[in-house]
Structure 1
Amino acid sequence: MIYQKPQIFMLHFAGGNSYSFVFLKEKISNAFEVHALELPGRGKRFKEELIKNSEVAIDDYVQQIRSKRNNKPFIIYGHSMGATLGLFVAKKLERLLDIPSALVVTGNPGLGVKDEETAHKGKRYLMGETDFKEELRELGGVSDEILENEELYSFFSPQIRADFEVIEKGLPSENIVIQSPVYAFMGAEEKCSDRIENWKRFTANHCNCDVWEGNHFFINDHPEALVRILEKSFDHSIN
């Protein structure tokens, strides 16, 4: 008989893939089954066409999770774009009577706040190359090696633009509230970190929010702390 373990499903940031969370997976206890998922057009799914529609992206993630589910509790973790999509994925699974034990989100202040920033700066997927590269530098998730090498940049930029289009062109229009508790974390250097408690609007359960030292990719500096959050979120023992 195969012993089934509680499951952790990870949703990547814009331009990310299933390899983006290796630094976390290697630190998570083997008492958990970890699945780092990815959307088409990158990583192991490179040959598939990029998705540029939020509802298609949400359905893709739901189908991936459903195909891997066992009968044990599970959580969803998403960073940045993955946090936004994770909220809708959790709601869709809830409607299918498969409710996550928790939604853990990082690098994202929740729906509505980013819309204000987009209105000020303009949609990122429509930016010219100069402004787009500057935006990526500001976010900190793309190395200078990629930004300054035209061959590398031309390879990765379509993936990042497509992902920005997914979350900026139009998310499902609904007042979404999930039954799962939410644990939200942001980097102190992120522009909207003071709005992190916005996440409380999206759960009928409890919501724990905190700001950690670092920029948008602060998770790279705090892997052990984040892993503790992921593991403890199953039994809601996070202080």
Structure 2
Amino acid sequence: MQNHNPKPQIFLVHFAGGSVYSFQFLKEHFQEYDFIPIELPGRGNRIRERILQDFSAAARDLYLQIVSKLKSPNFLLYGHSMGALLVLRIASLLELDGYIPQAIVVSGNAGPGISSSKIRHLLPDEQFKNELKILGGMPDEVLDNKELYEFVEPIIRADFKIAETSQRKEVLTPVNSPIYALMGDAESKVDKIENWKTYTLSTFKYEVLEGGHFFIYDNAMALSGVIKAAIKDN
């Protein structure tokens, strides 16, 4: 890792079905930062690559991307929903290499072990589509367009499998970075947000904002404020 670039780096990991473009709505708030969204194979700039369905493989793929882009000792990891679980594992992998994020910011997820009773990635097509409508975050023009939906459906199912199997099979351990957690007040597991406290050996803070699972889109200013404060506080 080179230290000649003084800009703090923000690495962003997308939610299920997301891509490198999922956080464009935040970019304008980070003009003075190195803003680096990354993505899993099978979508966005990596559309020709094989889709991953394994949590450990997904975390390692993203970890390798981050290591290859690290230029500053002042960096932060942010992940939403599935991405929140992945950044926790990525932080552990980075620690093994001697890289400790200034902080981890997680949103839309109550943390490891707090799983839904639904196993969405195994649902029949219509039920799966209804779940996507309930969660929000995907335009109706995609859900209602047969060709578009058939294109994104296997990507989203694979991502749900990554997230859901991680909740049941993976052992995620505490990291040395502070954790800042955010959830929407209408999310089903919002009362469990303090679960994240057990996954840091440092400080923990949380905030509940107005909205459902994709509350981040209506709270760009608040979310960017939390990320900036997290990287400045440490």
Which 4+ residue blocks in structure 1 deviate beyond 4 angstroms?
A: none
User: Residue 173 of structure 1: CA displacement?
Assistant: 3.4
Task: Provide Cα deviations, 1:86-117, integer angstroms capped at 9, x if missing partner.
Answer: 10001110111100000000100001112xx2
Any idea what SS the aligned residue of 2:231 has? Answer: coil
User: Residue 169 of structure 1: CA displacement?
Assistant: 2.7
TM-score (norm 1): 0.93
Query: Which residue identity lines up with residue 129 of structure 2 in the other structure?
Result: K
Residues 175 and 41 (structure 1 numbering): CA distance in 2 closer, same or farther, change over 3 Å? closer
Q: Does 1:129 align with 2:121?
A: no
Q: Does 1:221 align with 2:218?
A: yes
CA contact (8 A) 1:74 1:101 kept: yes
CA contact (8 A) 2:89 2:172 kept: no
Distance (Å, rounded) in 1 between the aligned partners of 2:110 and 2:192:
6
Distance (Å, rounded) in 1 between the aligned partners of 2:172 and 2:158:
25
Counterpart for residue 17 of structure 1: 19
Q: Runs of 5+ in structure 2 lacking a partner? A: none
Q: Runs of 5+ in structure 1 lacking a partner? A: none
Between the two proteins, what is the percent identity of the paired residues?
Answer: 44
CA contact (8 A) 2:41 2:52 kept: yes
The partner residue of 1:138 within 134, 139, 143 is 134
User: Residue 170 of structure 1: CA displacement?
Assistant: 4.1
TM-score (norm 2): 0.95
Counterpart for residue 28 of structure 2: 26
Residues 101 and 131 (structure 1 numbering): CA distance in 2 closer, same or farther, change over 3 Å? same
User: Residue 50 of structure 1: CA displacement?
Assistant: 0.3
CA contact (8 A) 2:120 2:160 kept: yes
Any idea what SS the aligned residue of 2:207 has? Answer: strand
Query: How many residue pairs were aligned?
Result: 231
Any idea what SS the aligned residue of 1:209 has? Answer: strand
Distance (Å, rounded) in 2 between the aligned partners of 1:90 and 1:48:
24
Query: Which residue identity lines up with residue 34 of structure 2 in the other structure?
Result: E
Counterpart for residue 195 of structure 2: 198
User: Residue 174 of structure 1: CA displacement?
Assistant: 2.8
Task: Provide Cα deviations, 1:122-157, integer angstroms capped at 9, x if missing partner.
Answer: x11111011101110111111211111111100111
Alignment of 1:73-92 (within 5 A): 73-92=74-93
User: Residue 72 of structure 1: CA displacement?
Assistant: 2.9
Task: Provide Cα deviations, 1:60-104, integer angstroms capped at 9, x if missing partner.
Answer: 011000000013310000000000101000111011110000000
CA contact (8 A) 2:5 2:71 kept: no
Distance (Å, rounded) in 2 between the aligned partners of 1:71 and 1:98:
10
Distance (Å, rounded) in 2 between the aligned partners of 1:173 and 1:50:
20
The partner residue of 1:6 within 8, 16, 39 is 8
Counterpart for residue 176 of structure 1: 173
CA contact (8 A) 1:5 1:72 kept: no
